[in-house]
Structures are given as C-alpha cells and as structure tokens.
Structure 1
Amino acid sequence: MNFFSTRGGIRGHLLSEALRLGAAPDGGLFMPEALPRHDAAGFDPESPLATFAAQWLRPLFAEDSLAPELDRICAEAFTFPVPIVMPDETRPRLHALELFHGPTGAFKDFGARFLMSCFDRLAGAEPLTVLAATSGDTGGAVGAAAEGRASVRAVILFPKGRVSPFQERQLTCWGDNVVAIEVDGDFDDCQRLAKAAFADSALSGRHRLTSANSINLGRLLPQAAYVAHAAVRLAASSGATPGFIVPSGNLGHGFATLLARAMGAPIGPVVLATNANATLGDWSRGQGYEPRPSVATLANAMDVGDPSNFERLLALGVTPDDLVVEQVDDRCIADRIVQDYARSGYVWCPHSATAAEAFERLLPSARDERPCLAAATAHPFKFADVVEPLIGRRLEPSPPLAGIEGRPVRKRAIAPALHALRELLDAGPFPA
C-alpha cells in the first residue's frame, strides 16, 4: 500500500514513511493511493477492539515494515473499554459511544497511543521530536502517551487562555521528555507555528520533527478502526445501519468516520456537529471554503477556523451532499447539557453536547429511522468549570483523571513566531 499527498507533489510513500514524516514534504497530507474495501460481514462484532482494529487496518499496512508489528501495536493502544450506552431510555434510538475511558479522558488517547507505539518501532537510535499543536485535548493525550518513552520527545503548543483549567494541568504535568509551550495566540496560531516548523527543513532535520496532530495519518487510522468496530457492533445488535454524529473541530474525527464508511463500515448518514466556528458549516451550505480566525466557545477543543483535514475530505471525494453539518452555539450547548441532565441524569461534556443537540435537531422521521451513535468525546470532569454550574452539582473524576490532580506542572511561554519556537528548540528544552 502506497500513500500520496493531497497536494499532488508526493506519491509512492509506504505507511511508515508517511507516519514518520507526519505531513508530506509539499505541505499536503498523506492519503492511501488505493482505498481498501471491506465486507463488514467478515468481521465479528464480538471481537475485542484490538483484534478488530488489526484486521480492519491490515490492508493499509501491506508490505510495510510495521506490518508484522500491527497486532502488537493495536494491543498496546487499545487497552480501555469503549462502551455504547443509551443515555436516555425515552430516546432509544440515541446511543453514546463513550470514548473517554482512557488515561486522559478523551478520544484522542486512542490515536496518541497508537502513534507512539508506531514511533517506538520507527525512531531508531535517536529519538524523534513530536511536535503537536493542541486546542485542548490532543496535547494531554500526546503527553500521556509519550511520557517515559525513549523513542520520542514531545513538544506541545497550546493557546494562552483558551483551554480549560484542567486541560492546562493535563498539558503541563508530564515527565522530562514532554515540554508544554504556552503560545500567546489562538489554536490557529499554534497550528501555523507547527506547520512552519515542519516547512523549515533545517529545523525539522536537526530535531527529527514529526507530528502527533491529526495531520499525521497515524492519529486517524485507529479512530477509523474504533468507528468501524462500533458500527459493526450496533448494526449487529439492532439489525439496522446506524448513523453517526461526530463533534468536529480540526476534522480528524469527522474524516476518520467518513474513511471508515468508505472502507465498508455499516454507517448510514453522517452528521458533523460544530460549534460557532462557521467555516465547515458555510462550506456545507454551498458558500465555499473560507478559512477565518477561530472563535472562542464553550467547546474549546473545537475552536478551529481553518480545519487541517479539510484537504483529506476533498481527497476522499466528499461533497456537501455526503454529510450534514450542524452548528451549535454556546447557548444551545449549555441548554442541551441542562436539559439532558434534568431528563435522564446523563452528563455531556460541552463537545459531546454538540452531538446530542444535533441529534435533537434531526427530523422525527430521521430520528426514528435508525439507531444513531453520538461520539461522546471527552469526560465531563475535564470541563467541570463549565458543566458543574449548569447541572448544579460537583462532578467526580475518573480514576485516571484523579491521578493527574496531584502532579507538578511546568510550561514555557513564547510569542506566536517561528523564531521563538526555533530558539526554544535549539536551546534544548529537554533535561539531559
């Protein structure tokens, strides 16, 4: 299996090369040259996620040096449960795919752990420097997955004042091989810095830079696998092809869902739920794709004005006719959290609440037609400052999140300029 760049200048890379580079040298994103198509009937809905994921992803690893390691990579990455629950028995068609039972309480734990397991096998004698821009949850997942690994050093860029207090603690509490950098700007500034660093060939070569953002295909493949696994499970138990509703910011999760469907997963209509950032919504309404500055919202991890993975949607052949984009503003996020807690006792995080609200906006005929999986992307405790005042009670952390509370924290601060990041990297931010 070979991979090409969405910008057309690069072809013929094997998967391990695509993962090692992160982004293509021409600035594009890697995609498989030939998309494998599975018969979902050949997959056991009762199989463990790690077993299912290895079977689902195997064609993409064909003839690659990582192919003999795929079973072990999946076994290392998929070590926590992914339950499908019914949040409200009065709405039996709505199911939540709970993706927050990992070490940092967010769906990005899957991709970060999968990618770091790949890097363990690709790094060689010198560690890779994993550069990750984060709007909230990516950095914590990358830090947790990278901590203590000899194969990588992680540098996490996060926007000053634009993450929740718990998210910031989770970004800044890891070991000596993980450094958190507070950028005086928004997420798009962090993302631009990361892209500029990769484009600087001397800097990238000097530090063996690679990416742990969703620009790296290794972040998205495990997401496509768990989406396919969930679809096969729910289709088997319900006898119907489920729809999916996915909270979307940088479009990695949304793309992974559409990729799983294109590879043969039994997935019906796909709804991408966004917050007040309107770039994707305007495109879906035929107004063209126009990047803009990000808008700060309650669902801060989705505060993206120029989603990187839009290039992959186009490369996959996705058009506005292939999905629905539902915009959910802060008032509706808050109202959905309040209403669903009062109705059933179930607590959504602000991001997951965009999916719950999108389900509520479906036409009654569409809600009744098939089961629908809403991706519950983060544990609500991570956003206690938002959620607790709305529901009127304290939230309890999961055991992994409780363990983060007592860790010491440290961070660096820089301006949103490449020279500032270059100076920090060259000064050696990592203890000897």
Structure 2
Amino acid sequence: MKLYSTNNTSSSVSFKEAVFNSMPQDRGLYMPVTIPRLSDEFINNLDKYTLPEIAFEVAKTLLGDTIPVADLKALIEDAINFDAPVIKLEEDVYVLELFHGPSLAFKDFGARFMSRVMSYFLEKGEKQLDVLVATSGDTGGAVALGFLGVPNTRVTILYPKGKVSGVQEQQLTTNGQNIRALEVDGTFDDCQALVKQAFTDAELNSEYRLTSANSINIARLVPQTFYYFNAYAQLLRQGKSKVAFCVPSGNFGNIGAGLLAWKMGLPVEQFIAATNANDTVPAFLKTGIYNAKPSVATISNAMDVGNPSNWVRIADLFKEDTAKLNKLIEGYSYNDDETLEALKQVFADYNYVVCPHTAIAWKALKEWHADHKEVTGVFLSTAHPCKFPDVIPADIASNITIPASVKELEGKEKQAVQLPADFEAFKAYLLKNV
C-alpha cells in the first residue's frame, strides 16, 4: 500500500511510514494512491461473514502485502474482539451500536487497531514512539486504553479544560504507566493545532519520534471501515439491501471511513453528516462556501470541531467533483435545545437511551428518511450514554446500565498537567519531560 499527501500527489510513502509520520511535513493528510474495490462476490455475500472475517478481508484488500496474511489476521482478531450490533428501532430505522469496546466509544476500533499496527512495526532497539493525541472527549480514552502498557510507546493526551464529561476525563487521566494527560485551557481546535504544530517543529522531531493517534492518522480510518461493511452484512440477513448511514460528525474521520468503504464497493445509497452547532460542513454542503470557524461548546462535546481535519480527505476522494459529493452526502445541524429534545424523543418512542451525539444522528436520519422511505436508515451510536450523566435528564439516565469498567474508575486519582493553549508552553513541557 502506497500513500500520498493531499498537498503533494507526486510522491508516495509506505503504509508503515504514513502510520509513524502520521502527517506529512507539507501539512496535508495521507491518502491511498489506489483504493482497491472488493469483489462483487464478497460484497453480495457479506451476510455469510463474521465481523473479524469481514475486517480481515477489507484490511487485506486495502493494505495489500504490507503485513503478512497470518500476522494481519492475528492482529485483527486481537484488536476487533467486541461486537457492533445493528438494532431495529422501527421499520427501516436501525441504530448501529459502536460502544461495546473497552472505552465505550466507536474510537476503540481505530485506537486498538492502530496500537497493534504500531507495535507490530516497531523493531527491537528502535527509539521510543511518542504518540500525541488531541481529544474532544472520546478519542483520548480509546487511545489511552489501546496503548496502555504497549512496550516502547508513550501517549500524551491533550484535552480542553472543562469541555469533556466527568467519565471521559476519568478515562483520560487515571491510567498512569505510559499514558499522560495535559489539560489545555482552550478548545479542541486549540489542542489539535498544538499537535499539528508539533509535527512540523524541527527541534521536537529531532528529540522525539513523534506520531499521532488522531484521525489524521490513516491507521485510524482503515479499521473504521470495518463496521460499515459489518452493518450492511447484518442488514442483508434481514433482507435489506438499500441502506443510508447517518453519522454524528465532528472531525469527520468517521464519515470519511464510511466513504472509503463506499469507494471500496460498499453499496450505500446516502451518507448523512449530522453535526451540532459547529456546522462548518453542513453549511458548505448548502452554500458551496467552506468557512472554518472557532468551535463552540455544546452538550455533544465530542463533535465540537470548527475546522474538521478530515474534510480534506473527503474532498480528495471526490477530486473537487462537488456535484457528486453533494449528491452522496447531505448535512444537518442542530443546537443544544434540539439535541436534548431529540434525546427525550428517542426514549419516549423506543424506551432506548442515547448519548447526545447519537440523538443528533437520529434526528437527522428521521428528517432525511421522511422523504426516502424506500431506503433503510442506520444512525451510528458513537458512545455509551453513561459517559454523559450531566447531559441526560435524570429520569432517562436512571434507565442506563452502568458498565463495570466505569464503576472501576470511581475514586481513582486524576493525573493531569494544566497548560495554556500556547505552543511554546506545550513544547517546553515536552522537552522538559523527556
């Protein structure tokens, strides 16, 4: 597998190099030189395969001979060892539950796969790998658990002070070992900017072997394609073949993975990008004007991204064919009041509890589905509702079953260093804490 930078298509690097570099020096993002298409026989018979089998076939097709078949199979069976069920809520409206992994968020797929790929590629005696990750809530927890105890790696998580939920903060700051947390006095966009700047700083790169675990890293997107194929397989078993996916969207890595799956042959009728008040992409899809802006805080905090990094990948997939892009992707955005009302409505209609991000996806799907009854709609549930106890009304929250892993966090001591949203302060911290 060869990859190019979205800012320079004339040169290419190996998958290993792209994984470890995370982001090219020209500040583009890595994309596959070729996106292979899966066979029609495999696509038409997806219902006969398990999730690990689907994941292996997709990864093998995309990565080629990058990792030997036997090693790749073992890696996937270790990383993707939890379920992602599609649950029917009403006729032709389904929810894809992506919160059954260790950190209770969809990002477990990417974080666990990536940590194992990096560990596989690391050779004995090589310099320690320093993983930098910005999080708006769920990425950090998934990465922390994905890399916890992985030899010769260290993870530094940057999260915005006061803008993640209590459970999310516990997952970020109570690990110890090779995981450290920085509480940044700013927004997620500030955290993301600090990480990106670190990758282009000569002094830091001479001192450290830096990489990222954010969705700017191509190793995050590859495994996120798995659950789109697997969701389609589950629907085929129920006689459904015309499918639309509604994706709660922040940094646009999740829907970017869905579009990569579509490029590989997954027959998706429509993608729906559902955002909160940070509506940069829905506004672009309506007006044709991309206007990145500072993020604003919402109750769906993991989607508080004003300038989503992965949009450049999506634009690259369509090679500026905006007509085709606009046909395949529709955008919807909702404020906090609408989000909370949707959360309540989901519980009233189905006796089903969702997190605020999932509530936004449900609302967008229902709005779109009203005019597309012939298509089966699937909205993605990206995080367990127990992670947002301060957002969900008490009478609804009382119906949530708290997982044992969350109960174990109670009483653990927070370990986090406070920093301003300033690159020189971040750089000084890194250089001082070698």
Which bracket does the TM-score occupy, shorter chain normalised?
over 0.9
Aligned to 1:75: 77
Aligned to 1:38: 38
- 5+ residue gaps in structure 2? 319-323
TM-score normalised according to structure 2 size:
0.94
Give the distance between the partners of 1:155 and 1:39, measured in 2 at CA.
40
Aligned to 1:421: 426
Give the distance between the partners of 1:248 and 1:189, measured in 2 at CA.
18
Paired residue secondary structure (2:58): helix
- Pairing 1:197-346 to 2, within 5 Å after superposition: 197-317=198-318, 319-346=325-352
Aligned residue identity for 1:337: L
Paired residue secondary structure (2:268): coil
Q: Verify: 1:112 aligned to 2:111, yes or no.
A: yes
After TM superposition, which residue ranges in structure 1, 4 or more long, deviate above 6 angstroms?
none
Give the 3 Å change call, closer, same or farther, for CA 372–363 of structure 1 in structure 2.
closer
Pairwise CA distance, 1:266: 2.4
Pairwise CA distance, 1:206: 1.5
Give the distance between the partners of 2:3 and 2:253, measured in 1 at CA.
17
| Cα deviation code 1:284-341 (max 9, x no counterpart) | 0124111100011111000000000011011100622221011121111101111121
Contact 2:86 2:94 in 1 (8 A): yes
Of 415-424 and 178-187, more deviation after overlay is shown by 415-424
Pairwise CA distance, 1:151: 3.1
- 5+ residue gaps in structure 1? none
Aligned to 1:362: 368
Give the distance between the partners of 1:369 and 1:44, measured in 2 at CA.
21
Give the 3 Å change call, closer, same or farther, for CA 93–148 of structure 1 in structure 2.
same
Give the distance between the partners of 2:4 and 2:189, measured in 1 at CA.
25
Aligned residue identity for 1:298: I
Contact 1:188 1:293 in 2 (8 A): yes
Aligned to 1:177: 178
Aligned to 1:56: 58
Paired residue secondary structure (2:238): helix
Give the distance between the partners of 2:68 and 2:300, measured in 1 at CA.
36
Give the distance between the partners of 2:21 and 2:10, measured in 1 at CA.
12
| Cα deviation code 1:190-226 (max 9, x no counterpart) | 0000000001133023110100000001011100122
Aligned to 2:99: 100
Give the distance between the partners of 2:193 and 2:24, measured in 1 at CA.
15
Contact 1:283 1:320 in 2 (8 A): no
Contact 2:98 2:380 in 1 (8 A): yes
Aligned to 1:85: 87
Give the distance between the partners of 2:153 and 2:222, measured in 1 at CA.
20
Aligned to 1:24: 24
Identity of aligned residues (%): 37
TM-score normalised according to structure 1 size:
0.94
Aligned residue identity for 1:93: D
Aligned length: 425
| Cα deviation code 1:237-269 (max 9, x no counterpart) | 223221100000000001011111111012211
Give the distance between the partners of 1:174 and 1:40, measured in 2 at CA.
45
Contact 1:134 1:158 in 2 (8 A): yes
Pairwise CA distance, 1:68: 5.2
Q: Verify: 1:140 aligned to 2:146, yes or no.
A: no
Aligned residue identity for 1:52: I
Pairwise CA distance, 1:60: 2.3
Give the distance between the partners of 2:9 and 2:37, measured in 1 at CA.
26
Of 411-420 and 315-324, more deviation after overlay is shown by 315-324
Of 259-268 and 97-106, more deviation after overlay is shown by 259-268
Give the 3 Å change call, closer, same or farther, for CA 306–66 of structure 1 in structure 2.
farther
Contact 1:46 1:233 in 2 (8 A): no
Pairwise CA distance, 1:394: 5.7
Aligned to 1:353: 359
Paired residue secondary structure (2:182): strand
Give the distance between the partners of 2:232 and 2:287, measured in 1 at CA.
29
Give the distance between the partners of 1:393 and 1:65, measured in 2 at CA.
46
Of 167-176 and 381-390, more deviation after overlay is shown by 381-390
Give the distance between the partners of 2:136 and 2:418, measured in 1 at CA.
16
Pairwise CA distance, 1:65: 4.7
Aligned residue identity for 1:26: D
Give the distance between the partners of 2:128 and 2:313, measured in 1 at CA.
29
Contact 1:388 1:395 in 2 (8 A): no
Pairwise CA distance, 1:9: 5.9
| Cα deviation code 1:357-414 (max 9, x no counterpart) | 0122125341x21211110000000001111336263633122222333433200011
Pairwise CA distance, 1:345: 0.9
